[in-house]
Structure 1
């Protein structure tokens, strides 16, 4: 990739990870959906059978309008009682009770963003901090909830009594607030696992 392509890829990844909801178009139908990211970068969400059987599936992030990122995706159904069941649990931690009993991982085939086509494999980025994510989220929720609450109010003007940090990746922290999941972004993309805890604490300081 040249410099311009790398810059656009970064902007696209930043945009994608800023949201956990979108509009899913399956054939001629559109439905609002909520998703989370699997450690390998795929999107995880509960899906209707009709969504799983569609000939074409597109996720618009954050909504189906002219400014949206469009993701052409391939759904792969999984059993929440099987080896991937933890992904369904992750979705529940973010969003609560699911609207359907069928679950799928969505691989990104390609994306359209600001008039450019982006390779899906390049955009579908794994989380290198997945192994330490639960521990850091737990620490923030146990020991720093007041700082998280104050940061949400200061940075995002979101006032919530019981914020819960639910996710962490190289670009920021996901926090479940009163009505939705919101994003506290780092000022850079982190690469070193040794930096992630310090960066998370600095973000809410």
Structure 2
């Protein structure tokens, strides 16, 4: 169960950013690109993108949930009708930390229903690419209202950074999946100590890439943020080439 104890040190990074002279305009520019972020926010986003399984609390109920990031930074998941009707929902990622010292991100979220047959149906397809067929048939796009992580508290907009590589993502994934399966398998084993039978690259953003296995999604971070398609391709090639 997620740790709901009061965080001892809570600061709003958006306010701190203004106070240190960067200004609101610069802060919004940073968060809109997922680049050059304040360290506290970058750490939170990287952690969230590396933990796509967790718990959702709706009113007083808790259930496991799997999420995926939409290109605009919202979280997508199949949900129950009761979750959509609730006005008090929170996400805890990951579901169960391995020890008391492990970090967890707590998100207050607002769920917006969308139909798979409608214009946002592609978001349901994106979830399936990561996690397979869902147990629930209703879909929600979750807007983050508030985030608590590692002793900091952020406004939800700070961690809902759009992916500037969204338009290039499919091309990058196809290029790798065409002939680099063995290198993906090696990378998952070396970096995450997970043996993956049939790995597929399913996601790329400035902070890293996502490899789908049969039972899990493995997150591999980049050494430095990749701001465009060429930079991402270089980072991916370095990871896949290894010491060669």
Normalising to structure 2: TM-score of the pair? 0.80
Superposed, 1:36-115 pairs within 5 Å as: 36-63=68-95, 67-115=103-151
Question: Which has the larger strand fraction?
Answer: 1
- Pick from 52, 66, 81: which aligns with 1:34? 66
Match for residue 232 of structure 2 among 183, 186, 196: 196
1:37-80 CA deviation, whole Å, 9 max, x = no partner?
Answer: 00000000000000111121000011267742100011100000
C-alpha separation in 2, matches of 1:195 and 1:189: 8
Query: What corresponds to 2:217 in structure 1?
Result: 181
Q: Which runs of 5+ in 2 are unaligned?
A: 1-16, 23-36
158-167 or 22-31, which moves further after superposition?
A: 158-167
How far off its partner does 1:194 sit? 2.4
**C-alpha distance in 1, partners of 2:150/2:231?**
32
Q: Which runs of 5+ in 1 are unaligned?
A: none
TM-score, normalising length: structure 1: 0.95
Residues 68, 130 of structure 2: 8 Å contact kept: yes
Which is higher, the Rg of structure 1 or of structure 2? 2
Query: What is the distance in 2 between the residues matched to 1:176 and 1:60?
Result: 21
| Cα root mean square deviation, aligned | 1.6
In the other structure, the counterpart of 1:134 is: 170
* Matched pairs, number: 204
